[in-house]
Amino acid sequence: MAEPDTPTMSSFSPSFFMGGFECSTHRRNDGKRLDLIASTRHDLLAEQDYEALAAHGILGARDGARWHLIERVPGQYDWSPVLPLIRAAKKAGVRVAWDVCHYGHPDHVSPMEDGFAEALARFAAAFARLLLEEEGEPPILCPVNEISFWSWAAGDVAYFNPGRRHWGAELKARLVAASIAAGRAAREAVPGTRLIAVDPIIKVFPETPDDAEFAEEHDEAQWHAWEGLLGRWQPELGGTPDGFDLMGVNYYWNNQFVREGDRGYTVRLGDPRHRPLRELLAEAHARIQRPIIMAETSIEGTPRAPWLRYVCDEVRAAMRAGVPIGGICLYPVVSHLGWDDDRYCPNGLFEMHPNRGRRPVDPALARELARQVALFDAFRRGEAVPEEPDSGPAFVTAWNHSETVRLSAGAEEQRVSHEATAGEHGA
């Protein structure tokens, strides 16, 4: 596949490592609206949060505009929910890629109904103009976060809004069209706006030879949203070869799995079927032909540092093989409350609850992050940085000894939360 004529970026961040603030705002299937920016108090602690990123050498971030709060009345925008975040990031010297629609939307619009794409486009254009005014340069936007996951979670298994089943393909097409419209409107409003398209990379395995075709179809579906934005999948949606600049890939411990209808089980690192992350990254670049950032990666509990070590080693291996990877985003960078039951999810560099006005740091992850910053600095200078062949086994050992994240087989199969379904985005 040919590269587009327009120039692309390898990253939006001044630093190789970035931090992502969980900003989901969807309604669960019981009707409750989530707001992770509020529940983590990122809205109140934005200055401290961005100062903390910068103190760890992290000068790039992902954050979000809470559309449902900003446009309570159709066509009227109250920017007060997002202005403190914009200004805190700028004060700290952190460059942000902003999610325009992170699952949530105002109650007066819905992707099930006509007019959603137009409403999102108007909002994206207005937000782009605001960011130009506040940041002093064209913004970096992700118009619709995780189209494929949203389509599965909300269109196939009714996990959150719009709460449909067996409607994932239609929802995916609608979200692709809305993202195209929003990106185009933002670029027209502020020339030079750059777009990121974020979705998970996955690997789906059949349980039996009879399941091979189903698994292959599910695996193939992970590419549809990216290819739709570029006009390669369902070109009637309006995608174009310059549909986005940067490919954001999300990868968690459970992004490789055996699929069994609406359920499945994780194929973990150490399983002989498990494919190295470097191969998935190479496949993603070969398929989509865009520079990549790892837009999300994390795990809960004590394996946090070994997981980062494993991911970084795999990323360097992919880069040695010629895959253009511009950075790794620790996502979430602040631990948060679970979507389903408000349980504490200890998966960030920073713990959620402040202590004397500051969020505590996970010391092991902080040490590993500092080590990896130095390794990537040397690697990007062209110095020899050897692979660490024990990084995978080290993670497996940490995982097996972690009481925090140990799940019974039954719980793992039934659990439907952001962490445990992160790999199940492809349908």
- Tell me how far apart the alpha carbons of residues 225 and 220 are, in angstroms, rounded to a whole number: 11
282 Ramachandran zone, left/alpha/beta (phi>0; psi -120 to 50): alpha
Whether this model's pTM surpasses 0.85: yes
In the chain, how many domains are there?
A: 1
Question: What are the start-end ranges of the E strands in 308-401?
Answer: 325-330, 336-337, 344-345
For residues 99 and 183, give the distance between their C-alpha atoms in angstroms, rounded to a whole number.
Answer: 11
Two structure tokens written together for 197:
């398209």
Specify the 3-state DSSP secondary structure of 82.
Answer: coil
Domain presence at residue 306? yes
pLDDT in the model for residue 419: 33
Peptide bond before 162: cis, by omega within 30 degrees of 0? yes
Task: State the pLDDT at residue 411.
Answer: 38
Looking at the domain assignment, is residue 146 inside a domain? yes
Instruction: Tell whether 161 is covered by a domain.
Output: yes
Residue-by-residue DSSP string for 163-178: --BS-HHHHHHHHHHH
Residue 7 resides in a domain = no
Tens of pLDDT along the chain (427 residues)? Answer: 333 333 356 899 999 999 999 999 999 999 999 999 999 999 999 999 999 999 999 999 999 999 999 999 999 999 999 999 999 999 999 999 999 999 999 999 999 999 999 999 999 999 999 999 999 999 999 999 999 999 999 999 999 999 999 999 999 999 999 999 999 999 999 999 999 999 999 999 998 888 888 889 989 999 999 999 999 999 999 999 999 999 999 999 999 999 765 568 999 999 999 999 999 999 999 999 999 999 999 999 999 999 999 999 999 999 999 999 999 999 999 999 999 999 999 999 999 999 887 899 999 999 999 999 999 999 999 998 888 777 787 778 877 766 444 443 333 333 333 333 333 333 3
Give the model's pLDDT for residue 384. Answer: 87
Task: Characterize the bridge pairing of strands 325-330 and 292-296.
Answer: parallel
Range of the domain at 171: 17-200+243-250+291-387
In a domain, 403, yes or no: no
* CATH number (domain holding residue 161): 3.20.20.80
Classify burial at 10, counting beta carbons within 10 Å of its beta carbon; exposed 0-12, middle 13-18, buried 19 or more: middle
Residue 311 lies in a domain: yes
CA distance 59 to 72: 32
Name every residue whose Cβ is closer than 8 Å to that of residue 23 and which is 6 or more positions away in sequence.
36, 37, 42, 63, 64, 66, 99, 102
DSSP conformation class of 359: P
Q: How many helices (H) and strands (E) does the chain have?
A: 14, 13
- Distance of alpha carbon 126 from alpha carbon 409, whole angstroms: 47
Contacts of 114 (CB under 8 A, 6+ apart): none
Examine residue 416 and state whether it is found in any structural domain, yes or no: no
In a domain, 417, yes or no: no
CB 330 within 8 A of CB 296: no
What confidence score (pLDDT) does residue 427 get?
33
Query: Which runs of consecutive H residues, i.e. helices, occur in 136-245?
Result: 147-155, 168-189, 212-220, 224-229
